Amino acid sequence: MDWQAIWLSVRLAASTTAILLVLGLPVAYWLTYSERRWKFLVEALVALPLVLPPTVLGFYVLMAMGPRSPIGALYGKLTGGMILPFSFQGLLLASVLYSLPFTVQPVAAAFAGVDKKLIEASWCLGVSRLATFRRVIVPLALPGIATGAILSFAHTLGEFGVVLMVGGNIAGVTRTVSISIYDQVQSLDYTAAGQTALFLLLVSFAVLAITYGLQRRVWGVWRIR
Amino acid sequence: MSPRFELDARVSIPLTGVTVLFGASGSGKTTLLRLLAGLEKPDSGSIVFRGKPWQGLSPQQRRTGFLFQDYALFPHLTVAENVAYAGPRATAAGLMEAFGLAELADRRPRAISGGQQQRTALARALAAGPELLLLDGPLSALDAPSRMRMRYELRRLLLAGGVPSIVVTHDRMEAVALGDWMAVMVEGRVRQSGPVRVVFRRPADLQVAESVGVENVLPAEVAGREAGLLTLHVGALRSQCVDSGETGSVYACIHAEDVAITREAGISSARNRLAGQVRSVTVEGALARIELDCGFPLVARVTAQSAGELALREGEQVAAVVKATAVHLAAYSQPSPR
């Protein structure tokens, strides 16, 4: 088994999930409570990675972060000449975009499920919007937030197309588990491919089983009605 | 987002004791309450609280301790954590003690009764040190027996809290039991405001009278005035009532409790009494509701005992007697300007 690739995938998935939690919660909050007319456009944009072929997403991300693009140039200036394509950081950026709906959608659904009156009651008690978010909305939406985090983690763990486009296949830097399996099959090493594939299958199943189990119990404890 | 709703509320509310905002559902009282709390924004108009303009202030800045119909307790927090949510721990602990919640401190809201939830919500609001309390149908989530018990209990707690409060209700008994002062809303407008007793005894117009539940609201003509009394023609009834300056067409408002029934035969219409036919007798617990046909429908309420003694049956001739002091006049309501 390609432990190096597994470890890289786990690191990538964990970092992606952490960034998505910081980024996805405000986005989900805005999508849930904003009354802007053009909200549907942002919703569609966030959901785009669900339907877009990973190669298409990967292509645009690759173009957007090339050294001559504004983003790539700024990154080079900030880091003293580093480039995003074919680096772990570039892969991370692409993964965040790719898994964004997997965080935002369950979290937004959980936010929408929080009784609006609880939020208004908190405001009328003099508690700020931010503190209300932290003390009422997040605790009550915790199962949804956990689901979003776990789904993003599992989704990033198995990504292939985007990685191939943006990261290429550099051992220890951008060769993730799924790329490794592809390599092993290409070199007719079916035993290794089978082992890695089985490992990924078991991890994915375990992660999902834990999510659903956790949700049941959490809902059981917090059921309101 | 929210549908357009026309609300025209010109009213000043005394900031002492309990004020009841009264009206049928859909009359706009909850919307008015949400406007006061800052949860809705009016298209125009102003709210002034103790000389301070409130428009543009967030709900947080107004601190109205809004009490929702279902109390909106935080389900993930214990009773103690709910009460101490927005106030100092010492204040919260004192209120828990005063409201009899101390032994429930570690329970979750769903594990306590409706009445206890209400006290928790009230304690939570008071702990935050509000300037004004707004209560939206505070008793409507309770079952009937607790609702009766909690009416006076709630008034006691509100007065003990020492914070002026505005209570929304559509229940007459609740209005009487809770309020010192009331404002009646009809179709998005505040139509009358004043001390509770005055509003119930002297509704300003037909819709207010119907809204506060005066059973008999009868079209009448002022036929003459003499020595502080008015002579009224209500159908065939010649009635007298206290002169408060009305002329022409008015409504005569008579509570069903103020209509007495006798079987003295042979008397046709005399002053403040008129003959009628019994149309129906409905026993409601200890009371009986009797509908008469006196040329116009008239509802009387007597004790079930006296209804039995009179042996009232449908179709029988009786006489209805209305005391002059029980007749109150309400002006014809003008169509409100749009």
Say if B10 falls within a structural domain.
no
Whole-number pLDDT of residue B74: 96
Q: Read off the pLDDT of residues B274-333 as tens digits, 9 standing for 90 and up.
A: 888 888 888 888 888 888 888 888 888 888 888 888 888 888 888 888 888 888 887 765
Say if B162 falls within a structural domain.
yes
C-alpha distance from residue B305 to each of B263, B273, B281, B310, B318 (Å): 15, 22, 13, 9, 17
| Residues of A in Cβ contact (< 8 Å) with B86 | 122, 125-127
Q: A25-29, A65-69, A174-178, A197-201: which has the highest mean pLDDT?
A: A25-29
- pLDDT band at residue A107 under the 50/70/90 scheme: very high
Whole-number pLDDT of residue A15: 96
Counted domains in chain B: 2
Sign of the CA dihedral B44, B50, B56, B60? negative
Residues 101-120 of A with CB under 8 A from B: 115, 117-118, 120
Are residues B61 and B166 located together in one domain of the fold? yes
Inter-chain residue contact B125 with A118, CB threshold 8 Å: no
Across A35-47, average pLDDT: 91
Q: A224 pLDDT exceeds 50?
A: no
Inter-chain residue contact A124 with B39, CB threshold 8 Å: yes
Burial class (CB in 10 A: 0-12, 13-18, 19+), B44: exposed
Cα–Cα distance between A95 and A74 in angstroms, integer?
A: 20
Partner B contacted by A36 (CB < 8 A):
no
Q: Read off the pLDDT of residues A171-222 as tens digits, 9 standing for 90 and up.
A: 888 888 888 899 899 999 999 899 989 988 998 888 888 878 777 765 444 4
H/E stretch holding A68: none
Q: Which domain holds residue B308?
A: 214-331
Paired tokens of B13: 């509310």
Cα–Cα distance between B113 and B110 in angstroms, integer?
A: 8
Q: Which of the two residues, A225 and B236, has the higher pLDDT score? A: B236
Say if B251 falls within a structural domain.
yes
Chain B residue at shortest CA distance from A33: B1
Chain B residue at shortest CA distance from A37: B1
Q: Is A133 helix (H, G, I), strand (E, B) or coil?
A: helix
Whole-number pLDDT of residue A97: 93
Taking any CB pair shorter than 8 Å as contact, residues of chain B touching chain A are 1, 37-39, 58-60, 62-66, 68, 70, 72, 74-76, 85-86, 110, 124-125, 128, 134
**Residue among B70, B76, B124 minimizing CB distance to A125:** B124
Inter-chain residue contact B37 with A124, CB threshold 8 Å: yes
Instruction: Among B201, B225, B258, identify where a domain stops.
Output: B201
Whole-number pLDDT of residue A82: 83
**Residue among B64, B76, B125 minimizing CB distance to A140:** B76
Average pLDDT, chain A: 88
Cα–Cα distance between B160 and A70 in angstroms, integer?
A: 65
Other Cβ atoms closer than 10 A to B152: 11
Sign of the CA dihedral B129, B131, B135, B138? positive
Nearest-neighbour CA in chain B from A129: distance (Å): 9
CATH of the domain at B230: 2.40.50.100
Chain B residue at shortest CA distance from A123: B60
Cα–Cα distance between A57 and A62 in angstroms, integer?
A: 9
Find, among A14, A39, A19, A38, the residue nearest to A29 by Cα. Answer: A39
| Residues of A in Cβ contact (< 8 Å) with B59 | 120, 123-124
Across A36-61, average pLDDT: 91
Across A45-58, average pLDDT: 91
Inter-chain residue contact B60 with A118, CB threshold 8 Å: no
Inter-chain residue contact A123 with B60, CB threshold 8 Å: yes
Inter-chain residue contact B85 with A35, CB threshold 8 Å: no
Partner B contacted by A37 (CB < 8 A):
no
Where would I find the beta strands (DSSP E) of chain A?
A: none
- pLDDT band at residue A225 under the 50/70/90 scheme: very low
Whole-number pLDDT of residue A218: 55
Cα B111 off chain centre by? 32
How many contacts, defined by CB atoms under 8 Å, are there between A and B? 62
Write the single-letter amino acid at B136.
D
Quick check: B194 and B207 in contact, CB under 8 A? no
What is the per-residue burial (b if ≥16 Cβ within 10 Å, else e) of A118-146? bbbbbbbbbbebeebbebbbbebbbbbbb
Cα–Cα distance between B72 and B124 in angstroms, integer?
A: 11
Where would I find the beta strands (DSSP E) of chain B?
A: 18-22, 48-49, 52-53, 133-136, 165-169, 181-186, 189-195, 216-226, 229-234, 237-242, 249-254, 259-262, 273-284, 287-293, 297-303, 317-322, 328-331
**Residue among A123, A128, A222 minimizing CB distance to B75:** A222
Reduced to 3 DSSP states, what percent helix, strand and coil does chain B have, rounded to the nearest 5?
A: 30, 30, 40
| Residues of A in Cβ contact (< 8 Å) with B76 | 139-140, 222
Instruction: Say which residues have a Cβ less than 8 Å from residue A182's Cβ, sequence separation at least 6.
Output: A160
Annotation: CATH topology of A3-31+43-219: MetI-like fold (1.10.3720)
**Residue among B59, B74, B76 minimizing CB distance to A123:** B59
Cα–Cα distance between B250 and B230 in angstroms, integer?
A: 12
Nearest-neighbour CA in chain A from B50: distance (Å): 18
Quick check: B123 and A124 in contact, CB under 8 A? no
Partner B contacted by A121 (CB < 8 A):
yes
- Domain extent listing, chain A: 3-31+43-219
H/E stretch holding B248: none
pTM, 2 dp: 0.77
Are residues B36 and B132 located together in one domain of the fold? yes
From first to last of the 338 residues of chain B, give the pLDDT tens digit. 345 667 777 778 777 889 999 988 888 888 889 999 999 888 888 888 888 888 889 999 998 989 999 999 999 999 999 999 999 999 999 999 988 899 999 999 999 998 899 999 999 999 999 989 999 988 888 887 777 778 888 888 888 888 899 999 988 778 888 888 899 988 888 888 888 878 887 788 888 888 887 788 788 888 888 888 888 888 777 788 888 777 788 888 888 888 888 877 555 445 778 888 888 888 888 888 888 888 888 888 888 888 888 888 888 888 888 888 888 887 765 433 33
Q: Which of the two residues, B248 and A138, has the higher pLDDT score? A: A138
Whole-number pLDDT of residue B270: 56
Write the single-letter amino acid at B91.
T
| Residues of A in Cβ contact (< 8 Å) with B125 | 125
Are residues B134 and B269 located together in one domain of the fold? no
Cα–Cα distance between B43 and B35 in angstroms, integer?
A: 11
Radius of gyration of chain A (CA): 20
Are residues B250 and B326 located together in one domain of the fold? yes
Nearest-neighbour CA in chain B from A158: distance (Å): 35
Are residues B66 and B189 located together in one domain of the fold? yes
Cα–Cα distance between B305 and B283 in angstroms, integer?
A: 10
CATH of the domain at B185: 3.40.50.300
Partner B contacted by A128 (CB < 8 A):
yes
Inter-chain residue contact B60 with A128, CB threshold 8 Å: yes
Are residues B121 and B241 located together in one domain of the fold? no
| Residues of A in Cβ contact (< 8 Å) with B72 | 115, 117-118, 120-121
Instruction: Among B151, B175, B201, identify where a domain stops.
Output: B201
Are residues B289 and B188 located together in one domain of the fold? no
Nearest-neighbour CA in chain A from B120: distance (Å): 13
Are residues B254 and B307 located together in one domain of the fold? yes
Are residues B113 and B137 located together in one domain of the fold? yes
Whole-number pLDDT of residue A222: 45
Inter-chain residue contact A126 with B124, CB threshold 8 Å: no
Across A154-171, average pLDDT: 86
Burial class (CB in 10 A: 0-12, 13-18, 19+), B49: middle
Say if B5 falls within a structural domain.
no
Partner B contacted by A126 (CB < 8 A):
yes
Nearest-neighbour CA in chain A from B60: distance (Å): 4
